[in-house]
Structure 1
Amino acid sequence: MNKNLRMHAEKSNLSLLDYVLKRNSEIAKETGVNRTIFAACPNSMAVIKAALNSAKRCNAPIKFATTLNQVDLDGGYTGLTQYEFVKKVKQEAASINLQSPVIIAIDHGGPWLKDQHRKEGMNYEQTMQAVKESFEAAIAAGYDLIHVDPTIDTTLPKGEIISIEVVAARTVELIKHCEAYRVANGFPKIAYEVGTEEVHGGLVDLSVFKSFFELLKSGLKKEGLEDVWPCFVVGKVGTDLHTTEFDAGVAKLIVDISAEYGSVIKGHYSDNVTNPEAYPASGMGGANVGPEFTEREYEGLIELETIETQLFEEGKVPKKSEIKQELWDAVIASGRWVKWLEDDENADDFYANDADRQLWLIKTGCRYIWQNPEVIASRVALYENLENNGVKAEEILLSHIEKAMDKYFYKFNLVDVNDLLIK
Structure 2
Amino acid sequence: MSDDPLRNLGQDPRGIVSVCSAHPLVISASLQEAMAQDQFALIECTCNQVNHRGGYTGMTPVDFVARVKEIASSVGFPEGKLLFGGDHLGPNPWKHLAADEAMAEAKLMMRSYAEAGIRKLHLDCSMGCKGEPVALDDETTAARAADLCAVAEEVGEDFIYIIGTEIPAPGGAHEELADLEPTKPEAVRRTYDVHKRVFEAAGLSDAFKRVIAIVVQPRVESAQMSVVLYDPERAQDLVAARSDLCGLVYEGHSTDYQTAASLKALVDDGFSILKVGPCLSYAVREALYGMEMAAAEVDGGPRALRDTMEALMLADPSVWDSHIHGDAASQKSQRHYGLADRIRYYWLKPEAVAALDSFHDRYRATLPQIGLLSQYLGGDFIKEALEAGDDFGDPDALIRRRVRRTLRPWLKACI
Give the TM-score taking structure 1 as reference length.
0.80
| Greater relative contact order, per chain length (Cα 8 Å cut-off, separation 6+) | 1
Residue in 1 that maps onto 2:363: 386
How much does 1:283 deviate? 2.0
Closer, same or farther: CA 193–389 of 1 in aligned 2, 3 Å: same
Structure 1: distance between partners of 2:113 and 2:132: 32
How much does 1:190 deviate? 1.1
Q: Does 1:212 align with 2:225?
A: no
One-letter code aligned to 1:367:
R
**Which stretch shifts more, 354-363 or 128-137?**
354-363
Q: Does 1:337 align with 2:320?
A: yes
Q: Does 1:163 align with 2:129?
A: no
Closer, same or farther: CA 22–74 of 1 in aligned 2, 3 Å: closer
Residue in 1 that maps onto 2:175: none
SS at match of 1:231: strand
Structure 2: distance between partners of 1:325 and 1:363: 20
**Structure 2 matches for 1:69-108, cutoff 5 A?**
69-99=48-78, 101-108=81-88
Residue in 1 that maps onto 2:18: 39
Number of aligned residue pairs: 370
Q: Does 1:290 align with 2:280?
A: no
SS at match of 2:18: strand
Give the alignment partner of residue 303 of structure 1, picking from 283, 290, 293.
290
Give the alignment partner of residue 236 of structure 1, picking from 207, 217, 223.
217
Structure 2: distance between partners of 1:247 and 1:369: 34
One-letter code aligned to 2:346:
I
Structure 2: distance between partners of 1:388 and 1:204: 53
Residue in 2 that maps onto 1:226: 205
Residue in 1 that maps onto 2:343: 366
Residue in 2 that maps onto 1:141: 116
Give the alignment partner of residue 325 of structure 1, picking from 299, 307, 311.
307
Q: Does 1:194 align with 2:176?
A: no
Residue in 1 that maps onto 2:46: 67
SS at match of 1:330: helix
Q: Does 1:266 align with 2:235?
A: no
Structure 1: distance between partners of 2:340 and 2:88: 22
Structure 1: distance between partners of 2:341 and 2:11: 38
**Structure 2 matches for 1:343-422, cutoff 5 A?**
345=326, 351=328, 353=330, 356-361=333-338, 364-388=341-365, 391-413=393-415
How much does 1:354 deviate? 5.4
How much does 1:189 deviate? 0.8
Residue in 2 that maps onto 1:3: none
How much does 1:402 deviate? 1.2
One-letter code aligned to 1:290:
G
Structure 2: distance between partners of 1:132 and 1:205: 30
Query: Residues 181-209 of structure 1: CA distance to partner in whole angstroms, max 9, x if unpaired?
Result: x14xxxx611111111238x998222222
Structure 1: distance between partners of 2:337 and 2:146: 38
Structure 2: distance between partners of 1:214 and 1:305: 53
How much does 1:137 deviate? 0.8
Structure 2: distance between partners of 1:79 and 1:161: 28
Structure 2: distance between partners of 1:133 and 1:281: 37
Structure 2: distance between partners of 1:371 and 1:257: 42
Query: Residues 269-320 of structure 1: CA distance to partner in whole angstroms, max 9, x if unpaired?
Result: 101013212112212111111111121111011111022213314xxxxx76
SS at match of 1:227: helix
> Which protein is richer in helix relative to its size?
1
Give the TM-score taking structure 2 as reference length.
0.81
One-letter code aligned to 1:331:
M
How much does 1:156 deviate? 5.1
Residue in 1 that maps onto 2:238: 254
One-letter code aligned to 2:289:
I
Give the conservation status (yes or no) of the 8 Å contact 2:165–2:215.
yes
SS at match of 1:400: helix
Residue in 1 that maps onto 2:148: 174
Closer, same or farther: CA 24–219 of 1 in aligned 2, 3 Å: closer
SS at match of 2:205: coil
Structure 1: distance between partners of 2:64 and 2:181: 30
SS at match of 2:203: coil
Structure 2: distance between partners of 1:389 and 1:358: 27
Closer, same or farther: CA 264–153 of 1 in aligned 2, 3 Å: same
Structure 1: distance between partners of 2:89 and 2:314: 27
How much does 1:250 deviate? 5.1
Taking only the aligned residue pairs, the percentage that are identical comes to 21
Query: Residues 376-418 of structure 1: CA distance to partner in whole angstroms, max 9, x if unpaired?
Result: 00101111222345521111111111111112111332xxxxx
Q: 5+ unaligned residues in a row in structure 1: which ranges?
A: 1-8, 29-34, 314-318, 414-423
One-letter code aligned to 2:126:
T
